[in-house]
Structure 1
Amino acid sequence: MKITLANEQLLLLPQKAVYWPREGMLIIADIHFGKAASFRALGVPVPGGTTSANLGALDVLLAQYEVRHIMFLGDFLHARAAHAHATLMAMLAWRARHPHLRLTLVRGNHDMHAGDPPAQLDIAMVDEPHVVGPFAFCHHPDVLVPSYVLAGHVHPVYRLRSGWESLLLPCFLIGAERMVLPSFGAFTGGHPVAPQPGERMCVSSGEAVLEIPLPSA
């Protein structure tokens, strides 16, 4: 789905990411590498494979779009337990397949606790707000800056209802001064949101992004 924000064309992707064609930039929020490993380290019996799923999802997008730069909007690693050997080896193998890809991580709240990713991943580490062109790339949506904010943190989902049935879908919450992206990562969950007057709501079915008609204020 094409939208224009701050006089720039962006693509909202069904894979819960944003693509900025002019910059060849893929924008990813809340990938949470190692979350399942962190839960298993605490004795919670959750399935493995989420790191591979995240890396595979990135590869699908890299094959579809001309990506020169990935901007991660915080929460790259879930916790210190995300530094598990298997998790790091998988990420390093992925990085070796994409040596010329520029990676930037805007530190989020989980990154503060997990620590920076290994230097071998060659990720530029920045704090919010990180301004590129008309956009301020942030983790938290409530950062006050003159630029248009692209952020994550919330993991927004929207509940669609039909009679007695309902369905939670990841969504992009778009306002006059900010857009909140859905969580990209596998096994990250979501937080139901209610749009405020003047905001737009676009949900992802996994195959398409559709705007939800909202009542006027």
Structure 2
Amino acid sequence: MTASQGALAVEVAGEQVLLLPEKALYWPREQMLVIADIHFGKAAAFRALGVPVPRGTTSENLAGLDALVDAHGARHVVFLGDFLHARAAHASATQAAMLAWRERRRGLALTLVRGNHDRHAGDPAALLRIALVDEPHTLGPFAFCHHPDLALDREAAGYALAGHIHPVYVLATRFDALRLPCFVVGPERMILPSFGAFTGGHAIRPAPGERIYVSSGEAVHGIG
């Protein structure tokens, strides 16, 4: 399999997948995009609390999804939890944008593995036609999760694909430092970077046996 547009092909659990610079994973055999922590409505939740944050993050997230679906011919998108950030994500403007997008993508299968924010926010609107499942959700050799610790606890019946921690890797010199979103790939699990706009990141160090792949926004590169 040839990686395209800066993506990097890796093999996990006997399957070849693409790590995408847009902070997502593509599984070619299933024509599936895997997205972690999109956090629809996070900016709206902050504005509801009186914090002046930029508008347009929902449109940015949807445009990013559109670009990836079209670029890879995806037929199925799996969200690894935290689809909605909070109950404020049910606000009319956010919902209207999501429903308009879903109408344009009527043939696209969507699955949400519920995360911790989803449990507080409530399930997405039924009109979005998203299959709702709890972790771990198994398909082929993979266990689709929100929390990466499930793999270490041996609760996941398969190689775990997870999110939750929004991993970033710090590239530092004597004079500067750069925080880049990253994929954490180990023998039992992979942690994906957060896909959503305005989601931040948590600096991590790889555990023994894990490898870091950073995204520059244009390409994915292995570290070390």
The TM tier, using the shorter chain, reads: over 0.9
Aligned pair partner of 1:6 in 13, 16, 19: 13
Shift of 1:41: 0.5
Q: How many residues align?
A: 213
Query: Is the Cα contact below 8 Å between 2:166 and 2:193 reproduced in 1?
Result: yes
For 2:66 and 2:21, how far apart are their aligned partners in 1?
Answer: 14
Aligned pair partner of 1:189 in 200, 203, 216: 200
What secondary structure is seen at the aligned counterpart in 1 of 2:217?
Answer: coil
For 2:14 and 2:208, how far apart are their aligned partners in 1?
Answer: 22
**What does 1:130-149 align with in structure 2 at a 5 Å threshold?**
130-143=137-150, 144-149=155-160
Q: TM-score, normalised by structure 1?
A: 0.97
For 2:157 and 2:133, how far apart are their aligned partners in 1?
Answer: 18
The question of 1:77 aligning with 2:84 is answered yes
**What does 1:27-176 align with in structure 2 at a 5 Å threshold?**
27-143=34-150, 144-176=155-187
TM-superposition CA deviations, 1:165-198 (whole Å, max 9, x none): 1000000001100000000000000000000111
TM-superposition CA deviations, 1:152-174 (whole Å, max 9, x none): 00000000012221000000001
What secondary structure is seen at the aligned counterpart in 2 of 1:139?
Answer: coil
For 1:110 and 1:145, how far apart are their aligned partners in 2?
Answer: 20
Q: Which residue type is aligned with residue 28 of structure 2? A: P
Query: Is the Cα contact below 8 Å between 2:136 and 2:157 reproduced in 1?
Result: no
Q: Which residue type is aligned with residue 80 of structure 2? A: L
For 2:207 and 2:94, how far apart are their aligned partners in 1?
Answer: 39
Q: TM-score, normalised by structure 2?
A: 0.94
Q: Which residue type is aligned with residue 9 of structure 2? A: K
TM-superposition CA deviations, 1:103-146 (whole Å, max 9, x none): 00000000000000000000000000000000000000011223
Q: Which residue type is aligned with residue 85 of structure 1? A: S
For 1:30 and 1:74, how far apart are their aligned partners in 2?
Answer: 6
Shift of 1:86: 0.3
Gaps of 5+ in 1: none
